[in-house]
Each structure stands twice: as structure tokens, then as C-alpha cells.
């Protein structure tokens, strides 16, 4: 293992190397503060306030801050915003976002909404994509259901890319690092005329892998991704604008570098499993946005289509034994349409109204293969026990070495919504405003399923010379339907003494859609096969109760303050909140087999906490910032068939998130030398409970990143050291077959980059 002293020598060497070549960091690689400056005015298609005056807990990360820390996907945002946590599950298929203890791990539907240029991303499998040419990222904490609808009960993350009409030019970037990391990208923006412009970008990224599978001797997390985006903007007339965009992203990666976790020693073993675990994905997102601006109002028509095709292979026991594996392929298509009508004037009465709809189609092929060890464990051992206890009169033997449970699932859903929000400014006195909003959302879902298996058995009857064989089929086929509607109100009261400081109170209702848990079908089929045997236990054959779950909703109440107590020197953003969650969607182990998981609405919980962001301009060159979030989240009521978890902490929720930055920027502008920058970036998170029992915990951990860059002429050279102290921590944990399975966070690694702008 590298020592800290060796890393310090490496740091000095890299900085010296950069200096020799006449290069130093640039503002683009610096984290300053996460809140928009008080004089910056940004409007959005939906909000009735300027973005920096919203009565909400809001963080904004600009393009320069996104460059710092290598935040080229949403996972890079974890911890740098108060109470924002995005665990690394080991592949791009699952990217659950947690805000203030609200998140979703098991279902495709998210609890936090993700948007890019006003286009929604519906499925979490599409969340982890490459972000290029970013202008800013907005994170709104607390339910945003009134304006954004379903699956935004914890907040939203909105990625805004640069307009094709912004500063023309081309940027080429190459980065390389330890563990065979490489990333190359280009961005170009061009104005064909005063009315027509386009932007084009592309990237290629590869990782050599941080972890080795001890059983195979190969890397368990290496892979590559590639893609690009074309965006066109056309001003038809003074009041009409059209933007069209199409983006593709391809991923091919070995995945899930999990090892066995020892609860006594708290040590995670290196990955060691026999079957391939991988993930491949093709993602295409296309959109068309039409904007009409008239005196006093604006209309936005937003149409989008997203196509996702992926395949996941997973060794679900994560051991060298051949117990069981899953292969899941899905073809997902989603069409969304939204029309937004909004006031654009300085009157006291402001409004925004809209209607929206969506159509989802998702076909999933998800077979489960029980290997030789799995057949013995789940089937043969049951027959042995039934015979030994006298429950079964004959001793049945499984003749299959492997058993495949096929599963095909066709899920369709559609929904409609209408919303209206008004803001009354200068209410009674100057600076006081009131916001009232209401949305009604309706959704209908249908699932057609076909799952089953055939098991071949034999038994020996006395006096019969040859074994008697038989085949036991177990098949389930049918369809399920459900629908639900929700009202999502919002109330906000805000007072702003001037443009530098505001205080607000907001209460809002959030809502996450219900759905179907298709992972339960392997359990259902197995139980059906066993119950059909002589002496087998008769099981409830109701499929609907085992696979469906209802919507989850919550109420969020918060008080906050933000602004510049000392103008241009000290920026402050702080809030306290209380969240009451009802019908919380949770996952429980099903039956006695130990591998099936049933989704239930089995919990009521609460979250209470606080957030604070501070930025201090120490001098013209030196700036410091700190972002701290605290969440205390517990179950009020939650029991399963075996335990009562009431009073326990909600899992996957960090008690604290902490980010601190010290940034030095020196403007040189002597000859070709332009600028030098250096930054220390500290991130911390914990305590995190991984289970409802609260018997496995990740204590508070922290990482330290060091960055530096130099600009000379059109060139920029940057160096970085990630996790400089080589902190060891688990980034994810779960349990299967009675074993704890965990994944370590990435160890210390470093790199260097070259960027050319012209």
C-alpha cells in the first residue's frame, strides 16, 4: 500500500512537472461556492421566482465547479451538496439518489427527479450518463411534486448545458490516470447565422479497474463508455425559438466488485466469485423544445423520447460456488410531453400553469439460473428434509444439474397531470411574498408476465429395477393492473429585506409512484414447484399481493435563510426541516429461501435535520467554503414477518454529509501565462446504517482530494490526487443467502490532464 509520504512526494513531483512546462490550474478546476451570486438572474420555464430567489433549499454548481473533482456524472455530486448522497452500487444500472433521507434503491422509479435541459429521466438505469458542456447543475431539496410531479418527493437534480448560442469555440480534453484511467472528449459550439447555431460533443472513457476478482484473476470493474450529443437552436422569429437535441451513451463494463463482509472483524474481503458480472447499455435521449415569448407571458412545449436497451449479468451469491445467477435484459421506451404557460412581467401576481403526460413501455427478459450448488441448496435439500421427517413418503432426487427459471415481463404505464402555481409579491408589505400551488397526477400501470421452470426428478421404488422419473412443471402467467391519483399541494411564505438576504417557510407534499417487483417471480415459481409435490406445503398462489406495491408519499416542512450577510464576502445558506413519510416502500426477504425479495408499503418514518453552506472570500486570491448536512431519520412503524424495526434508523441515510474546500486562484496574465489554481477538497459522510436491523454500519469516513492547474495561452494542464489519504470505507452493503456483501470505495489514485481551447 502506498504511504502518505510517498503520495506527498508524488504531489510535489506533479506540481513541479506542471511548473516546468509552464502550466498551472485554472478556474475551471476550482470549487468556489454552490449558491448563485446575488446579482445573477436566472429564470426557468416553471418557477415563478428568479432561481436565486426561490423559497427553497437550493444549491447551484456552475461549470467551473463541475470540472473540479472530476464530476462528469451525477455520482460525482455525492456529499458536496448538504444531505445529498449517491452510493456507488458497482454499475450504471442503479443510481439511487438520496436527499434528506429520501431515496429509492430497489425499484426503477426514482425518489429524486433528474432532468437535463427540462427533459425528465424516468428510469434510474438512465441516470448515470456522461455530462458534457455543462453550464450549471441545480439541486432543489425537498418535495418538488407540484411543478415536477411523480418521483420527486425528495427533490430534483437539474442539469443545464450551454446553449449553442453561447460563446463559440472548440475544446479538446485528454485525461489519464493510474489504474489505466483514460478520458478524451471534445466540445464545439458554432453560430451558422444570427438565427441558427449548433453544438456538438463526444467522449470516450475507459477504466482499467480498481479491484481484482481473486477467483478469476481478472479485474472486476474495468470497462469503457462512449457517446456524444448534437444540439440545434433556431430562432424562427423574434418570439419563436426551437431547440432540438439528440444524445447517445454506450457503456460496457465489468461490474459489482463485491466481497464477503465479516460482521465480527468489520473487514470486506476482495471480490471472489465464479460467474461473470457485467453491464452493457445503449441510451438515446432526443428532445424538441418550442418556446413562444409574448409581452407578459411565455409558452414552452417540451417533447422528449428516451430509448434504453441494456443487459445485466449478475452472480447473485458473490461466492466461488455455483449457486445462482441472473441475467436481465430490458428494452425501455418513454415519451413525455409537457406544455407550460408562465407569466413574464414585474407584476405582483405571477403564475405558472401546465399539463403533462407520459407513456412508458418496458419489456424485460430476466431468467434466473440455479447452478449445481444452488440446485442442492434450494431444491434437493428440501426433498431430503421432507423425506427424513416423514412428510414425503418417497425420497425424491433432482436429476437436473442446473435449473433455469425463465421470466418475461411486459410493463406499460401512462399518466396525465395538470398543475397551477401562483405567487403574490409585495403581500401587505414590501418584500413579503406568498406561493400557492396544486397538482393532480393520475397514472395507470399494466404488467403482463410469464415465468416458470421445469424440474426433472427421479425416485427408487423397492422391487422396481430402474429409477422412476417424472417432470414437475411450475409456470405462472397472467396480467396485473393498478392505477392511482394524487393531489400535490405546496405552500411557501418568503420575506426578502433586500436582494442580499431572504428567509422562507415552505411545506409541500411529495409522491413516488407504486409499481411491480418482478424480482419476486423466481420465488413464486420455486414455491409453486415445491407446493405441487406430495407432502409439499401449500402456498398462497396470489401473485398480485407478492409483486405489487402502492405509492409512497411525504410531507416536508422547512424554514431557511440565504443570501449575503456581508456582501461579496460572506455567503450563507441554511435551513432546518422535518419530513413525515407514509406508506414507505421497503424491501423484505421473502419466505425461507433467502434470495427472493418482496416490496411492501410497510413503513412510516420521519426525517429531521439541518443544512448549512458558507462561502468566505478571504482575499482576492483565496476562498474557503463549507457545506454540512445533518439528517436524523428513523422508522416510526415498520414490521415484517420476523422483526419489529420501529425506532431503528432508516438505512442508506448518512447522518452527516460534509464538504470543505480551500481554493487559491492567481491571475497572472503575463505573456502567455494566464492563471494558476490549487485546491484542497475534503468530503465526508456517515454514520450510515446498511440494514433495517441497524446491525451493520459504516462509521463516518472522509476523503481528501488535491488539485492544481496552469493556463498558458490556449492550453491548460491539470493534475489531481483523489482520496489522497487512501481512506478505506464501504460504499455499499447488502445481504443475500445469509452473507453480508460489501464494496470498498475507490482507493488513492492520481492523474494528469491536457485541455486545449480555441
Residue 354: the pLDDT is: 96
Long-range contacts formed by 730-734: CB under 8 A, 24+ apart: 730/261, 730/268, 730/690, 730/698, 731/87, 731/88, 732/87, 732/88, 732/89, 732/90, 732/258, 733/261, 733/690, 733/691, 733/696, 733/698, 734/690
Which range among 218-222, 384-388, 469-473, 601-605 has the greatest average pLDDT?
Answer: 218-222
Confidence grade of residue 374 (pLDDT, cut at 50, 70, 90): very high
d(CA 251, CA 128): 10
Residue 535: the pLDDT is: 46
Average of pLDDT values for 111-117? Answer: 92
Average of pLDDT values for 235-259? Answer: 93
Residue 294: the pLDDT is: 92
Cα 282 off chain centre by:
18
Host H or E run for residue 528: helix 521-531
* Residue 5 pLDDT > 50: no
Q: What are the beta bridge partners of residue 359? A: 335, 414
Q: 750: Cβ–Cβ under 8 A, 6 or more apart, which residues?
A: 10, 14, 177, 178, 719, 720, 721, 722
d(CA 210, CA 251): 17
The model carries a pTM of: 0.89
Residue 596: the pLDDT is: 59
The pLDDT tens digits of the residues spanning 326-356 come to 999 999 999 999 999 999 888 999 999 999 9
d(CA 61, CA 69): 12
d(CA 74, CA 155): 14
**What's the grid cell of residue 474?**
411450475
Greater confidence, 717 or 41?
Answer: 717
Host H or E run for residue 556: strand 552-566
Residue 682 has φ and ψ, to the nearest 5°, of -110, 130
7 and 645 in contact (C-beta within 8 Å)? no
Cα 697 off chain centre by:
21
Residue 415: the pLDDT is: 96
d(CA 9, CA 458): 68
* Residue 29 pLDDT > 60: no
Residue 303: the pLDDT is: 97
Residue 94 has φ and ψ, to the nearest 5°, of -125, 115
Q: 430: Cβ–Cβ under 8 A, 6 or more apart, which residues?
A: none
- 69: helix, coil or strand? helix
d(CA 208, CA 204): 14
What sign results for the dihedral spanned by CA atoms 137, 140, 143, 145?
negative
Instruction: Tell me what the pLDDT averaged over the chain comes to.
Output: 87
Residue 532: the pLDDT is: 60
Average of pLDDT values for 497-519? Answer: 88
Q: 364: Cβ–Cβ under 8 A, 6 or more apart, which residues?
A: 328, 329, 330, 407, 408, 409, 410, 411, 518
164 and 233 in contact (C-beta within 8 Å)? yes
d(CA 754, CA 68): 14
Which range, of 164-178, 509-523, 688-702, 738-752, averages the lowest pLDDT? Answer: 509-523
Average of pLDDT values for 12-16? Answer: 40
Average of pLDDT values for 621-632? Answer: 95
Average of pLDDT values for 161-190? Answer: 94
Average of pLDDT values for 128-140? Answer: 90
- Strands (E) located in 178-277: 181-191, 196-207, 223-237, 240-254, 259-262, 267-268
Host H or E run for residue 12: helix 4-20
The pLDDT tens digits of the residues spanning 269-323 come to 999 999 989 999 999 999 999 999 999 999 999 999 999 999 999 998 999 999 9
d(CA 522, CA 476): 10
d(CA 573, CA 33): 11
The pLDDT tens digits of the residues spanning 654-665 come to 999 999 999 999
239 and 252 in contact (C-beta within 8 Å)? no
Confidence grade of residue 188 (pLDDT, cut at 50, 70, 90): very high
Amino acid at each position: 500500500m502506498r504511504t502518505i509520504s510517498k503520495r506527498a512526494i508524488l504531489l510535489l513531483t506533479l506540481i513541479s512537472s506542471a511548473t516546468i512546462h509552464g502550466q498551472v490550474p485554472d478556474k475551471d478546476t476550482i470549487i468556489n461556492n454552490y449558491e448563485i451570486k446575488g446579482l445573477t438572474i436566472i429564470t426557468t420555464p416553471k418557477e415563478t421566482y428568479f432561481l436565486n430567489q426561490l423559497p427553497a433549499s437550493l444549491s447551484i454548481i456552475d461549470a467551473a465547479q463541475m470540472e473540479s473533482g472530476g464530476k462528469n456524472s451525477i455520482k460525482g455530486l455525492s456529499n458536496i451538496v448538504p444531505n445529498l448522497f449517491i452510493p456507488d452500487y458497482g454499475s450504471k444500472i442503479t443510481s439511487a439518489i438520496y436527499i434528506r433521507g429520501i431515496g429509492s434503491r430497489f425499484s426503477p422509479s426514482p425518489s429524486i427527479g433528474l432532468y437535463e435541459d427540462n427533459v425528465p429521466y424516468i428510469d434510474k438505469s438512465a441516470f448515470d450518463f456522461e455530462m458534457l458542456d455543462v453550464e450549471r447543475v441545480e439541486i432543489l431539496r425537498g418535495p418538488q411534486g407540484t411543478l415536477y410531479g411523480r418521483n420527486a418527493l425528495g427533490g430534483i437534480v437539474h442539469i443545464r448545458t450551454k446553449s449553442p448560442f453561447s460563446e463559440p469555440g472548440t475544446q479538446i480534453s485528454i485525461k489519464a490516470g493510474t489504474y489505466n484511467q483514460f478520458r478524451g472528449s471534445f466540445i464545439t459550439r458554432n453560430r451558422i447565422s444570427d438565427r441558427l447555431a449548433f453544438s456538438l460533443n463526444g467522449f470516450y472513457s475507459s477504466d482499467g479497474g480498481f479491484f481484482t476478482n481473486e477467483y478469476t484473476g481478472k479485474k472486476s470493474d474495468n470497462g469503457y463508455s462512449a457517446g456524444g450529443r448534437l444540439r440545434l437552436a433556431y430562432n424562427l422569429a423574434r418570439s419563436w425559438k426551437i431547440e432540438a437535441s439528440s444524445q447517445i451513451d454506450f457503456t460496457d463494463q465489468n461490474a459489482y466488485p463485491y466481497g464477503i463482509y465479516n460482521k465480527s472483524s468489520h473487514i470486506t474481503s476482495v471480490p471472489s466469485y465464479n460467474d461473470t458480472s457485467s453491464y452493457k447499455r445503449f441510451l438515446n435521449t432526443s428532445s424538441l423544445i418550442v418556446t413562444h415569448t409574448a409581452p407578459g407571458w411565455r409558452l414552452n412545449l417540451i417533447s422528449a423520447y428516451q430509448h434504453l436497451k441494456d443487459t445485466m449479468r449478475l452472480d447473485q451469491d458473490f461466492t466461488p460456488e455455483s449457486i445462482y445467477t441472473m441475467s436481465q435484459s430490458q428494452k425501455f421506451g418513454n415519451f413525455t410531453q409537457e406544455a407550460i404557460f408562465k407569466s413574464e412581467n414585474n407584476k405582483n401576481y405571477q403564475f405558472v400553469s401546465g399539463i403533462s403526460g407520459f407513456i412508458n413501455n418496458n419489456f424485460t427478459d430476466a431468467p434466473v439460473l440455479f447452478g449445481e450448488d444452488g440446485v442442492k441448496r434450494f431444491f434437493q435439500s428440501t426433498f431430503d428434509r421432507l423425506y427424513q421427517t416423514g412428510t414425503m413418503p418417497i425420497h425424491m432426487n433432482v436429476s437436473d444439474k442446473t435449473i433455469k427459471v425463465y421470466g418475461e415481463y411486459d410493463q406499460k404505464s401512462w399518466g396525465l397531470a395538470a398543475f397551477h402555481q401562483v405567487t403574490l409579491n409585495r403581500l401587505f408589505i414590501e418584500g413579503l411574498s406568498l406561493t400557492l400551488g396544486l397538482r393532480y397526477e393520475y397514472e395507470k400501470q399494466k404488467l403482463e408476465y410469464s415465468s416458470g421452470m421445469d424440474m426433472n426428478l427421479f425416485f427408487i421404488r423397492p422391487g422396481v429395477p430402474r429409477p422412476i422419473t417424472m417432470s414437475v412443471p411450475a409456470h405462472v402467467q397472467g396480467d396485473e393492473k393498478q392505477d392511482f391519483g394524487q393531489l400535490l399541494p405546496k405552500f411557501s411564505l418568503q420575506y426578502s429585506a433586500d436582494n442580499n438576504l431572504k428567509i422562507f417557510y415552505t411545506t409541500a407534499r411529495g409522491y413516488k409512484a407504486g409499481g411491480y417487483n418482478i424480482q419476486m417471480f423466481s420465488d413464486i415459481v420455486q414455491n409453486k414447484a415445491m407446493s405441487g409435490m406430495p407432502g409439499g406445503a401449500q402456498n398462497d398462489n396470489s401473485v398480485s399481493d407478492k409483486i405489487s406495491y402502492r405509492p409512497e408519499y411525504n410531507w416536508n416542512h422547512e424554514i431557511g435563510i440565504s443570501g449575503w450577510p456581508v456582501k461579496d464576502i460572506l455567503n450563507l445558506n441554511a435551513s432546518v426541516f422535518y419530513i413525515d413519510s407514509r406508506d414507505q416502500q421497503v424491501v423484505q426477504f421473502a419466505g425461507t429461501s433467502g434470495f427472493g425479495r418482496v416490496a411492501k408499503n410497510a413503513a412510516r418514518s420521519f426525517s429531521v435535520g439541518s443544512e448549512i453552506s458558507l462561502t468566505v472570500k478571504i482575499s482576492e486570491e483565496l476562498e474557503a467554503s463549507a457545506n454540512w448536512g445533518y439528517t436524523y431519520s428513523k422508522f416510526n412503524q415498520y414490521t415484517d414477518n420476523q422483526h419489529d424495526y420501529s425506532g431503528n434508523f432508516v438505512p442508506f441515510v448518512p447522518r452527516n454529509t460534509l464538504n470543505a474546500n480551500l481554493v487559491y486562484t492567481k491571475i497572472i496574465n503575463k505573456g502567455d501565462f494566464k492563471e494558476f489554481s490549487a485546491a484542497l477538497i475534503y468530503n465526508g459522510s456517515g454514520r450510515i446504517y446498511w440494514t433495517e436491523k441497524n446491525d451493520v454500519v459504516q462509521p463516518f469516513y472522509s476523503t481528501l482530494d488535491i488539485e492544481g492547474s496552469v493556463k498558458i495561452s490556449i492550453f491548460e494542464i491539470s493534475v489531481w490526487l483523489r482520496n489522497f489519504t487512501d481512506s478505506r470505507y464501504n460504499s455499499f452493503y447488502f445481504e443475500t443467502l445469509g452473507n453480508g456483501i460489501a464494496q470498498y470505495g475507490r482507493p488513492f489514485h492520481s492523474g494528469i490532464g491536457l485541455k486545449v481551447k480555441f
